[in-house]
Amino acid sequence: MLLKSVAMKIYGLLASIIIIVILLLFSIPLLKPKYEGRVVSFLTENRTVGFNVEVADTPIKRTIGLMNRTALPEKSGMLFIFDQEGIQGFWMKNTLIPLDMVFISADKKITHIQRNAQPCKTLDCQIYSSEKPAKYVVEINGGLADKLGIKEGWRVGI
């Protein structure tokens, strides 16, 4: 009888472990960045530069941003959407990769580009400001705005 009781406990433990492993396997896709099929395009008269973006449109998503990411695919980024146009400030606390921040007005024109903002691991991180009112901000890999020739004044398709 004792042996049967021990066997039942072992089977119960194994069943619990299997359920936990299955749940973990199904949750892995939830941990990956979601690009949601959203594309942001920087537009000029003669060319378009497009990025697949994650959307940060809530206070918590905007706060977390691209923190703790070890890499960002080259033609990917994060689109921050604010409720109102205004001077927007960003810092690089717990951000592990350099970023370009493209500040965009409500009428969807680039008003400022903060190039190559560097990661910050301390509490006294620099604040990068939009300088002019912005409703949107797109973060991309540091140095990419220069590499692709993205400039202030360009129109943006969001």
- Do 50 and 116 lie in one domain? The reply is yes
- Do 69 and 94 lie in one domain? The reply is yes
- Do 10 and 65 lie in one domain? The reply is no
Structure tokens at 112: 């400022």
- Do 28 and 40 lie in one domain? The reply is no
Q: Tell me, what CATH number does 69's domain have?
A: 2.60.120.1140
- Predicted confidence (pLDDT) at residue 14 exceeds the cutoff of 50: yes
Tell me the pLDDT tens digit for each residue of 32-63. 455 566 899 999 878 899 999 999 999 999 99
- Do 39 and 100 lie in one domain? The reply is yes
- Residue 156 has φ and ψ, to the nearest 5°, of -130, 130
Q: How many domains is the chain partitioned into structurally?
A: 2
Report the pLDDT value the prediction gives residue 123, as an integer from 0 to 100.
87
- Do 43 and 73 lie in one domain? The reply is yes
Contacts of 143 (CB under 8 A, 6+ apart): 98, 100, 115, 116
Q: Strand runs (DSSP E) across the chain, as ranges? A: 38-43, 48-56, 76-86, 89-90, 99-104, 110-117, 128-129, 134-141, 155-157
**Would strands 110-117 and 99-104 be described as parallel, antiparallel, or unpaired?**
antiparallel
Tell me the pLDDT tens digit for each residue of 75-110. 999 999 999 999 999 999 999 999 999 999 999 999
Start-to-end C-alpha separation, the chain: 69
Buried b (16+ CB within 10 A) or exposed e, 35-55: beeeebebbeeeeebebbbbb
- Predicted confidence (pLDDT) at residue 30 exceeds the cutoff of 50: no
| Three-state SS at 43 | strand
Structure tokens at 18: 């299997």
Confidence of residue 2 (pLDDT cuts 50, 70, 90): low
Q: Which of 3-17, 40-54, 71-85, 111-125 has the lowest mean pLDDT?
A: 3-17
- Do 64 and 42 lie in one domain? The reply is yes
- Do 54 and 123 lie in one domain? The reply is yes
148 versus 45: which is more confidently predicted? 148
- Do 79 and 22 lie in one domain? The reply is no
Q: For the chain, what is the mean pLDDT?
A: 86
- Do 24 and 43 lie in one domain? The reply is no
86: how many CB neighbours lie within 10 A of its CB? Answer: 13
Report the pLDDT value the prediction gives residue 46, as an integer from 0 to 100.
85
- Do 70 and 138 lie in one domain? The reply is yes
Spell out the alpha helix ranges (H) of the chain: 2-31, 59-64, 144-148
**In which domain, by residue range, is 60 found?**
34-157
- Do 6 and 43 lie in one domain? The reply is no
pTM recorded for the entire structure: 0.77
